């Protein structure tokens, strides 16, 4: 029997660590604070902004209150602007005296403007402040074009106003008509005046009566005394054209003997002669075109 060869082995005392291969990397431990959740500031900002705005507004208000006695000065200057022919600056300043007694910021500008426009000769007023102590007033006067009845004047827009010194305006043409018809009568006056002007006529009186009929009286001129035109209710421009055409052909040389012309006919006119020169006074002469 062959003898067995026994190999003595070294006792195993522990496993050997594997030898690392390649480069090694050192990793630092993450701090605890980095692993904690970060606090959100959005809610804090939303709460903080209203507080800041309120504080800023309160500060501005306090500053304005403290500065007001220095900024709100008494009004010491009144500047009246505009081409004034019928009213004086003195009368304007007397009218607004109760308002300018207030301070710069407390003066009631709308009330001052309304007070000025109550003056008969003022058509429009503008009022504004100029810091630190001035009020500027710009005025637009009425432009009288005609008399309205016996108690008022009309401007070029057909608006009535009633100054005290009406006797100074007897030279203006007189317009008359129902209440609230001022603009209608003024418009007809402007149209008819333009048509009569080339003939040398002016309008001394234009009246719209209650039933709608129009009556016109021309002013006296170098051509002769005034004449009365009866225009009827409608088609005034057409009737005036008819009168102009017949006047140039037939009536021009006889104008001094004519008292009135009736244009209410559809295709002609009737002439009323002055006495005692008129050849016939019982019946008017009728001219046809």
pLDDT digits (tens, 9 = 90+) for 240-265: 999 999 998 999 999 899 999 999 99
Q: Do you find a cis peptide bond into 272, omega within 30 degrees of 0?
A: no
Domain end call among 111, 141, 171: 141
Max distance between CA atoms of the chain, in angstroms, equals 195
Q: In terms of domains, do 151 and 279 share one?
A: yes
Number of C-beta neighbours around residue 261 at 10 A: 23
C-alpha torsion 28→33→37→41, nearest 10: -130
Q: In terms of domains, do 120 and 174 share one?
A: no
Question: In this predicted model, which residue has the larger pLDDT, 145 or 46?
Answer: 145
The conformation of residue 251, written as its DSSP 8-state character, comes to I
Using alpha carbons, select from 216, 220, 210, 255 the residue that is nearest to residue 236: 216
Question: Over the stretch 93-132, which tens digit does the pLDDT of each residue have?
Answer: 999 999 999 999 999 999 999 999 999 999 999 999 999 9
Averaged pLDDT of the chain: 83
pTM of the predicted structure, to 2 decimals: 0.69
- Tell me whether residue 137 is in a domain: yes
- Tell me whether residue 30 is in a domain: no
Q: In terms of domains, do 256 and 124 share one?
A: no
Rounded (10°) angle between helices 89-100 and 109-116: 150
Contact 241, 253 (CB under 8 A): no
Domain end call among 114, 141, 168: 141
Domain end call among 123, 141, 159: 141
Contact 208, 176 (CB under 8 A): yes
Question: Over the stretch 37-67, which tens digit does the pLDDT of each residue have?
Answer: 565 556 666 666 776 777 677 666 655 555 5
Q: In terms of domains, do 124 and 239 share one?
A: no
Structural domain boundaries, residue 112: 77-141
Q: What is the CATH number of the domain that holds 85?
A: 3.10.20.310
The conformation of residue 249, written as its DSSP 8-state character, comes to I
Would you give the end-to-end CA distance of the chain in angstroms? 176
């Amino acid at each position: 029997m062959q003898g067995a060869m026994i190999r003595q082995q070294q006792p195993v005392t522990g496993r050997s660590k594997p030898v690392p291969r390649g480069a090694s990397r050192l990793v630092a431990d993450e701090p605890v604070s980095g692993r904690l959740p970060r606090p959100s500031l959005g809610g804090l900002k939303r709460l903080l902004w209203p507080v800041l705005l309120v504080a800023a507004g309160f500060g501005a208000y306090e500053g304005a209150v403290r500065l007001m006695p220095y900024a709100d000065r008494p009004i010491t200057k009144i500047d009246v602007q505009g081409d004034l022919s019928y009213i004086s600056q003195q009368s304007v300043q007397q009218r607004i005296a109760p308002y300018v007694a207030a301070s710069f910021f407390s003066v009631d500008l709308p009330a001052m403007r309304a007070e000025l426009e109550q003056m008969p000769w003022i058509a429009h007023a503008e009022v504004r402040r100029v810091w630190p102590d001035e009020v500027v007033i710009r005025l637009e006067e009425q432009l009288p074009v005609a008399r309205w009845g016996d108690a008022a004047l009309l401007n070029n827009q057909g608006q009535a106003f009633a100054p005290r010194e009406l006797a100074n305006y007897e030279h203006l043409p007189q317009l008359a008509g129902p209440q609230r018809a001022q603009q209608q009568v003024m418009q007809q006056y402007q149209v008819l005046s333009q048509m009569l002007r080339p003939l040398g006529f002016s309008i001394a009186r234009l009246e719209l009566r209650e039933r709608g009929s129009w009556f016109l009286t021309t002013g006296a001129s170098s051509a002769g005394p005034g004449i009365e035109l009866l225009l009827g209710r409608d088609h005034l421009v057409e009737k005036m054209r008819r009168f102009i055409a017949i006047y140039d052909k037939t009536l021009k040389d006889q104008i001094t003997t004519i008292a009135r012309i009736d244009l209410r006919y559809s295709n002609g006119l009737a002439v009323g002669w002055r006495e005692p020169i008129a050849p016939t006074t019982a019946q008017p002469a009728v001219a046809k075109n």
